[in-house]
C-alpha cells in the first residue's frame, strides 16, 4: 500500500499538470497573444509555489505519523510489560495480544509518512510480530526484545531526522 501511494500521487500530479496546459481546454476563439504571454509566468509561479506546499504537507504528515507511532510504541511496550507481570497463561496471552495490537498500529499510523519513517515503522511492526510468535511458541520463556529495541531506536532516529 505504501508503494502504491508513491506511484499514484506523482502520476495524478503529472496528469493534472498536463491537462492544465491542454490547448483543448481553451475557448474556440483562443486567447489573445498578450494574455498567453502573461499567463505563462503566472503558471510558472504557481508551479514553483506548489512544490514547497507539497513538501510542507508531506513533512506535516510525517511529523503527525511520528507522533502517533512513537506514542503507540510506548503504549505497547508498557502494556506488554504489565501483562507479562500477570504470569502464565493469561498474562502471556495478553502480552501476545499487545504485540499484535502494536504491530497493527505501526501499519495504520505509518500511512502518509515519508519512506524512511515508514520503513522504520515496518521494522518495529516485524519485531512485534516476531515477539507475538515467540510468546505463542514458548509461553514459558520470555523472548529477547533486542530486535524490538533496535527497531524502536531506528524509528526514533528516523523521526528525529
| Mean per-residue pLDDT, 105-127 | 95
* 24-34 as b/e: b if 16+ CB within 10 A: eeeeeeeeeee
pTM of the model: 0.64
Per-residue pLDDT band at 39 (split at 50, 70, 90): very low
Q: What are phi and psi of 143, to 5 degrees?
A: -75, 165
For the chain, the straight-line distance linking the first and the last C-alpha, in angstroms and rounded, comes to 23
Give the distance, in angstroms, between the CA of residue 85 and the centroid of all CA atoms in the same chain.
32
* Helix axes of 115-137 and 2-20: crossing angle, nearest 10 degrees: 160
| Average pLDDT, rounded, for the chain | 75
Name the more confident of 101 and 46.
Answer: 101
Lowest mean pLDDT among 46-50, 51-55, 157-161: 46-50
* pLDDT (0 to 100) of residue 137: 85
**% of the chain at pLDDT higher than 90:** 47
What whole-number distance in Å separates Cα of residue 160 and Cα of residue 154? 10
Contact 146, 127 (CB under 8 A): no
Q: What are phi and psi of 148, to 5 degrees?
A: -65, -45
Residue recorded with cell 497463561: 89
Amino acid at each position: 500500500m505504501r508503494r502504491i501511494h508513491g506511484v499514484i500521487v506523482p502520476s495524478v500530479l503529472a496528469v493534472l499538470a498536463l491537462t492544465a496546459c491542454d490547448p483543448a481546454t481553451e475557448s474556440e476563439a483562443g486567447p489573445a497573444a498578450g494574455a498567453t504571454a502573461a499567463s505563462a509566468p503566472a503558471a510558472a509561479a504557481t508551479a514553483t509555489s506548489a512544490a514547497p506546499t507539497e513538501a510542507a504537507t508531506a513533512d506535516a504528515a510525517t511529523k503527525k505519523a511520528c507522533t502517533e507511532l512513537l506514542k503507540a510504541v510506548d503504549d505497547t511496550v508498557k502494556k506488554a510489560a504489565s501483562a507479562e507481570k500477570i504470569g502464565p497463561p493469561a498474562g502471556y496471552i495478553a502480552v501476545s495480544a499487545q504485540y499484535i495490537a502494536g504491530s497493527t498500529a505501526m501499519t495504520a499510523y505509518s500511512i502518509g509518512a515519508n519512506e524512511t519513517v515508514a520503513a522504520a515503522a515496518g521494522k518495529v511492526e516485524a519485531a512485534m510480530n516476531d515477539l507475538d510468535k515467540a510468546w505463542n511458541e514458548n509461553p514459558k520463556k520470555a523472548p529477547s526484545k533486542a530486535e524490538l529495541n533496535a527497531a524502536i531506536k531506528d524509528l526514533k532516529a528516523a523521526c528525529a531526522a
